[in-house]
Amino acid sequence: MNRIRLWVLVMVTLGILTGCDGCDDGFGPQMVRYTGMSDNGTYQLEITENLNRAIYAPATGDNYKLTLLPSNKISTGTITVSGTSITLTPDKAGTTGTIGITISGSGISAITVTGGTVQWNGDTSAITAVATLTPVGSSGFEGIWAGTITNQENTSLTAHYTIVAASGKWSGYQDGEFLDKGTYTVSGNTVNMAITQEYVNNAWQNQTGTATGTISGNRFTFTSGFTASIFTRQL
């Protein structure tokens, strides 16, 4: 696979993750989304009501879908709610354990696994605990963005990038794989990004580079580091 780097000589990938307070089209079941990012990837929990309720908040018996980016592994089942903690009971056959989700604001701050074996749907890989995640919101640069990047040196090469950003940190995924991560600052509608590490040979390695962009509504446009690259907020 051709990797497109965004920094000066190479194009760096940027990844972002975001949390959504609630999404409801007014017709079907209502849904709420929580997101958290870590070095292991970005976890996104979607909870859908199983009975119509005028004002929606997650309740015991509702359905869930937990997704891990960038691998897009999925777990589904039902939930039990207790305060700011949500217990997920997977519907995958043979499951003996449960998944604990700690909610902070509109994001996920921790994941626990108790009671036995818990696996992702579709394969035998285990869902593991994550002691600390950075909750992801959906304001300013914080959130999930997606776009297509064009190689600066070979314009025939493009790649899909997802940017997950929160609390001054961002993660970048290219075509479903880890690529880069780093830090960012925001001044007005200008975002200054720094790359600190790159994922190479299944391990994070130190790296340096910078990129700058501007936010306008639900669009983020790079002004340096990328070639006219426009990202759209996903939530």
Instruction: Provide the domain limits for residue 70.
Output: 31-133
Last residue of a domain, one of 133, 158, 180: 133
Spatial distance between the Cα atoms of 138 and 163, rounded to a whole number of angstroms: 12
Q: Is residue 18 part of a domain?
A: no
Spatial distance between the Cα atoms of 27 and 24, rounded to a whole number of angstroms: 8
Encode pLDDT of 4-55 as tens digits. 443 332 223 233 333 334 444 455 678 899 999 998 899 999 999 877 666 7
* pTM reported for the whole predicted model: 0.83
Residues 148 and 214 in one domain: yes
Please give the pLDDT value at position 13: 29
> How many CA atoms are closer than 13 Å to the CA of 142, on its beta-carbon side?
16
Spatial distance between the Cα atoms of 1 and 9, rounded to a whole number of angstroms: 18
Residue 26: DSSP 8-state: S
Q: Is residue 158 part of a domain?
A: yes
Confidence label for 117 from pLDDT (cuts 50, 70 and 90): confident
Spatial distance between the Cα atoms of 135 and 104, rounded to a whole number of angstroms: 7
Last residue of a domain, one of 133, 157, 187: 133
Residues 119 and 177 in one domain: no
**Secondary structure, 3-state, 58-121:** CCCCCEEEEEEECCCEEEEEEEEEECCEEEEEECCCCCCCEEEEEEECCEEEEEEEECCCCECC
Please give the pLDDT value at position 226: 67
